[in-house]
């Protein structure tokens, strides 16, 4: 019964998008709202992680903190520029390269901080 209800909800939403004038605009608005809500949740989660690990963060050296902040900043910029960067082949390579380098930087800071 639950599956039938879920399918009915999806069909109703599809009908609204297809039949109602301006339904495409409404769908775009809903998608934008969901994207903003997702990014807000990511921001809140990042802040919570920072609060829980504040002592660990401040125990890093200045160099390690700079690398960590730069890597997180690069990830944020790649998220912000995803639409433009993924339109071209070179953009995809840059996007993957920057995310890979940022991930490696975060991992190297973490690995270096775990050594005694």
Same domain, 115 and 77: yes
Q: Which residues contact 104 (CB under 8 A, 6 or more apart)?
A: none
Q: Look up tokens 């297809």; give the residue.
A: 18
pLDDT-based confidence at 102, cuts 50/70/90?
very high
Is the domain of 47 the same as that of 58? Answer: no
Are 44 and 78 members of one domain?
A: no
Residue 34 in this model has a pLDDT that exceeds 70? yes
Per residue in 43-92, pLDDT (tens digit) is 999 999 999 999 999 999 999 999 999 999 999 999 888 888 899 899 99
Of 9-13, 26-30, 65-69, minimum mean pLDDT range: 26-30
Residues 41, 59, single domain; the answer is no
Q: Are residues 76 and 44 in the same domain?
A: no
C-alpha to C-alpha distance for 29 and 3, rounded to whole angstroms: 27
State the residue range of the domain holding 64: 54-116
Shared domain for 32 and 61, answered yes or no, is no
Residues 68 and 30 in one domain: no
Query: 68 with 60: CB under 8 angstroms?
Result: yes
Residues 46 and 79 in one domain: no
Are 87 and 68 within one domain? yes
What's the domain count of the chain?
2
User: How far is it, in rounded angstroms, from Cα 31 to Cα 65?
Assistant: 35
Same domain, 58 and 112: yes
Rounded Cα distance between 71 and 100, Å, is 10
């Amino acid at each position: 019964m639950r599956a039938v209800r879920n399918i009915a909800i999806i069909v109703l939403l599809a009908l609204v998008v297809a039949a109602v004038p301006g339904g495409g605009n409404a769908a775009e608005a809903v998608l934008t709202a969901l994207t903003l809500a997702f990014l807000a949740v990511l921001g809140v989660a990042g802040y919570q992680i920072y609060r829980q690990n504040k002592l660990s963060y401040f125990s890093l050296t200045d160099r390690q903190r700079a690398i960590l902040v730069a890597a997180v900043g690069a990830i944020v910029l790649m998220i912000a520029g995803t639409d433009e960067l993924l339109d071209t082949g070179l953009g995809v390579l840059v996007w993957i390269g920057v995310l890979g380098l940022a991930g490696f930087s975060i991992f190297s800071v973490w690995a270096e901080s775990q050594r005694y």
